[in-house]
Amino acid sequence: MVHTQYKQNKSSLTAEQQDQITAAALILREGGTVAFPTETVYGLGADVTNPDAINKIYQIKQRPIDHPLIVHIGDVSHLDYWAQAIPNSAWKLARHFWPGPLTLILQRSRHIPDSVTGGQDTVGLRIPAHPVALALLAALGPKKALAAPSANRFGRISPTTAAHVQEELGVAVDMILDGGACEVGLESTIVSFHDQSPKILRPGGIALSALESVLEGPVILAHNTSQMIRTSGSLPAHYAPATPLRIYSTKHIWDRSLALAAQGFRVLVMTWSDIGRSRPSSQSIEQFSMPVDPIAYGQQLYSKLRQFDQAAFDYMIIETPPDHHSWLAIADRLQRASYNPFDNKQN
């Protein structure tokens, strides 16, 4: 099934893209790094089996070496080459959602080196649903996989276009494959199976309700506990723009923005509800309406944060997202983006 989909995808690649993929596979085989598109965000890839190449990823990202990388594989049938003692529920999710924005944390096999997992005995695995990523994996050949975190500096906003990767990493990466804007725009959902019970470590592209309906049972949502600290995306300061970001309720958003404007700050206000239409007249306040639909909101979120971060605002004010499970991944990322250790205006 996956193969059929891959073949269809492959035929949609241009001859130029195919040539670039061939060149990228060569770079990877020689131990280089290649940024590539996935349906979630762009990844910074290296050959899983080459510890020197893996080391380059950590250096380029300035990421602490005990933060494990997600391993991208080309086909569900490769799952038990890279992982072992795979629970039935993990097979079910893999068969149903791959290729797609779901990462499974499983016991690693001996084919996954220590350098990829930060010494942990588990590994995060997924098949990306993007024709360029799948063609790259196919070009790498059998018994190969791509270790790839998001292609941003540690703690920063994940890139959702090739231009974002260029801005973030520039010449540090050997090649950037351009596959257009990412369809999902937020990272994959991460699920672990400790004690056989599926648990979401990071909400993302696949909704909790979708997981539950495939498993015909409950999926737990992990809270911010110390056990999650090794999941770097679950550190409080993450996905953060440099501009201080605040989240205010629909009710208070204009009061708070006006108070900041009164102190002489330039404020960008990002809304999703009708409240955007009652913008007060203040020259220091700019307002931007995001989509009301969480899928469309998620697609745009990172590129808008990046865009507004480059404009000279003193604050970014974001309207609290709706309290509904379909907004979980967005609420999670906004919350982390609002905690910023570089924020010297914290009050």
User: What gap in Å lies between CA 108 and CA 117, rounded to an integer?
Assistant: 9
3-state DSSP assignment of residue 214 = helix
Nearest approach in angstroms of CB 250 to ligand TXA is 30
Nearest approach in angstroms of CB 133 to ligand TXA is 8
Token representation of residue 163:
């231009």
Nearest approach in angstroms of CB 213 to ligand TXA is 21
Report the residue number, 257 or 299, with the smaller CB distance to ligand TXA.
299
Comparing CA positions, the residue from 140, 204, 228 lying closest to residue 177 is: 140
- Would you count residue 188 as binding Mg ion (CB under 5 A)? no
Q: Mutual orientation of helices 131-140 and 15-29 as an angle, nearest 10°?
A: 50
Report the residue number, 205 or 271, with the smaller CB distance to ligand TXA.
205
DSSP letter at 332 equals H
- Would you count residue 122 as binding Mg ion (CB under 5 A)? no
Report the residue number, 27 or 57, with the smaller CB distance to Mg ion.
57
User: What gap in Å lies between CA 327 and CA 342, rounded to an integer?
Assistant: 27
- 181 alpha-carbon distance from chain centroid: 13
Q: How far is CA 225 from CA 193, 234, 281, in A?
A: 16, 9, 43
Report the residue number, 150 or 161, with the smaller CB distance to Mg ion.
150
Token representation of residue 152:
């941003």
Nearest approach in angstroms of CB 70 to Mg ion is 9
**Could you say which of Mg ion, ligand TXA, none residue 320 binds, taking C-beta under 5 to 8 angstroms by partner kind?**
none
User: What gap in Å lies between CA 58 and CA 190, rounded to an integer?
Assistant: 20
- Would you count residue 150 as binding Mg ion (CB under 5 A)? yes
* CB-CB contact of 132 with 21 (8 Å): yes
**Could you say which of Mg ion, ligand TXA, none residue 123 binds, taking C-beta under 5 to 8 angstroms by partner kind?**
ligand TXA
Nearest approach in angstroms of CB 206 to ligand TXA is 10
**Could you say which of Mg ion, ligand TXA, none residue 120 binds, taking C-beta under 5 to 8 angstroms by partner kind?**
ligand TXA
User: What gap in Å lies between CA 247 and CA 273, rounded to an integer?
Assistant: 14
Report the residue number, 164 or 246, with the smaller CB distance to ligand TXA.
164
Helix (H) or strand (E) holding 71: strand 70-72
Report the residue number, 68 or 294, with the smaller CB distance to ligand TXA.
68
User: What gap in Å lies between CA 130 and CA 179, rounded to an integer?
Assistant: 8
Position closest to ligand TXA via CB: 149
**Could you say which of Mg ion, ligand TXA, none residue 330 binds, taking C-beta under 5 to 8 angstroms by partner kind?**
none
Segment lying near Mg ion (by CB under 5 A), choices 50-58, 150-158, 168-176, 305-313: 150-158
Report the residue number, 78 or 202, with the smaller CB distance to Mg ion.
202
Nearest approach in angstroms of CB 124 to ligand TXA is 3
State how beta strands 189-192 and 102-108 pair: parallel
Q: Phi-psi category of 273—alpha, beta or left, where left has phi over 0 and alpha has psi -120 to 50?
A: beta
Segment lying near Mg ion (by CB under 5 A), choices 43-51, 86-94, 142-150, 215-223: 142-150
* CB-CB contact of 76 with 98 (8 Å): yes
Q: How many residues sit close enough to Mg ion to count as binding (CB under 5 A)?
A: 1
The residues of the shown chain that bind ligand TXA, judged by CB under 6 A, are 38, 40-41, 43, 67-70, 101, 103, 105, 117, 120, 122-124, 128, 148-150, 187-188, 190, 201, 230-233
Nearest approach in angstroms of CB 238 to Mg ion is 7
Position closest to Mg ion via CB: 150
Helices (H) and strands (E) in the chain, counts: 12, 15
Q: What residues line the site for Mg ion (CB under 5 A)?
A: 150
